[in-house]
Structure 1
Amino acid sequence: MDLTVVAYIAYLVISVVLTVWVARTLSRNGRVFLADVLRGDEGLADAVNRLLVVGFYLVNFGFVALYLRQDATIDTVRYLFEGLSVKLGVVLLVLGVMHLGNVYVLNRIRRRGALDREQQPPVPPQGWTPPAARA
């Protein structure tokens, strides 16, 4: 078997495994954060979490597929490892940027919700008191 084909297979297997692992980890650990962002609405948090995972898979698998092509011929094991390290490094960077982008956006939503909650009084007004007379 040609080493270029071996590189393709290794790249696809490792990229898919990494993407699935990162998506599951983010989904499992991000659920609590989403529930906080969405003010404790567990059903909505679960739905948003699933939608984020699907979007994460689509973007990352699409990138992995587009980045599959290898222009140089791989004729030694050394070039196989060097090519794989570059490709997998780029995939890992894309996964990290996607994660940081999601956390940034959700944190902005969470902060905006916290500001909205601060502007509402904790209890409704109890009555009206006339202003004191000036002396």
Structure 2
Amino acid sequence: MDLTVVTYVVYLAISVGLTVWVARTLSSNGRVFLADVLKGNEPLADAVNRLLVVGFYLVNLGFVALYLRSDRAVRDASGVFEALSVKLGVVLLVLGVLHLGNVYVLNKIRRRGVMERDQRPPVPPQQWLAPGAGA
């Protein structure tokens, strides 16, 4: 079998495995964060979590597929490792950037929600006093 094809098969296997592992890890650990962002609305947090995972799969697996092609033929074992290291390194960087982007956006939403909660009075006003009447 051609070493270029071996490189493609190993690249796809590792990239898809990494994508699935990262998506599951982010999904299970991000659920609590989403529930906080969405003010305790658990069904909405679950739905948003599933949508984020689907989007993550689509973007990352699409990138993995587009990045499969190699400009050079792989001729020996060291070429396999060199090609794999470059391809997998870029995939890992893209996974990290996607993760940081998600966390950044969700943190912005969370901060806005916390600020809105802090601006509301803890109890509704009990009565209204005319200026100068009670002082």
TM-score tier by shorter-chain length is over 0.9
Structure-2 separation of matches of 1:64 and 1:9: 12
How far apart in 2 are the matches of 1:128 and 1:94?
57
RMSD between aligned residues: 0.8
| Residue 26 (structure 2) aligns with | 26
Give the drift of 1:118. Answer: 1.3
Partner of 1:66: 66
Which letter does structure 2 place at the counterpart of 1:87?
A: K
Structure 2: which 5+ runs fail to align? none
Q: Which residue of 2 aligns with 1:101?
A: 101
* Residue number in structure 2 paired with 1:40: 40
Q: Post-superposition shift, 1:115?
A: 1.0
Measured in 2, the distance between the counterparts of 1:19 and 1:105 equals 20
Once residues 73 and 132 of structure 1 are traced to their aligned partners in structure 2, the CA distance between those partners, rounded to angstroms, is 87
For residue 127 of structure 2, give the secondary structure of its aligned residue in structure 1: coil
Superposition deviation, residue 129 in structure 1: 2.2
SS in 2 for 1:73: coil
* Match runs of 1:1-135 below 5 Å: 1-132=1-132
Distance of 2:84 and 2:13 partners within structure 1? 11
| AA in 2 matched with 1:17 | G
Cα shift at 1:132: 3.1
Give the TM-score normalised by structure 2.
Answer: 0.96
Measured in 2, the distance between the counterparts of 1:131 and 1:2 equals: 88
| Structure 1: gaps (5+ residues) | none
Scaled by the length of structure 1, the TM-score of the pair is 0.96
- Quick one: which amino acid aligns to residue 19 of structure 1? T
Aligned-pair CA distance for 1:7? 0.1
Secondary structure, counterpart of 1:53 in structure 2: helix
How far apart, CA to CA, are the structure 2 residues paired with 1:60 and 1:90? 11
- Matched-pair identity in %: 76
Given residue 12 of structure 2, which amino acid in structure 1 is its aligned partner?
L
CA-to-partner distance for each residue in 1:36-90, whole Å, 9 max, x for gaps? 0000000000000000000000000000000000111101000100000000000
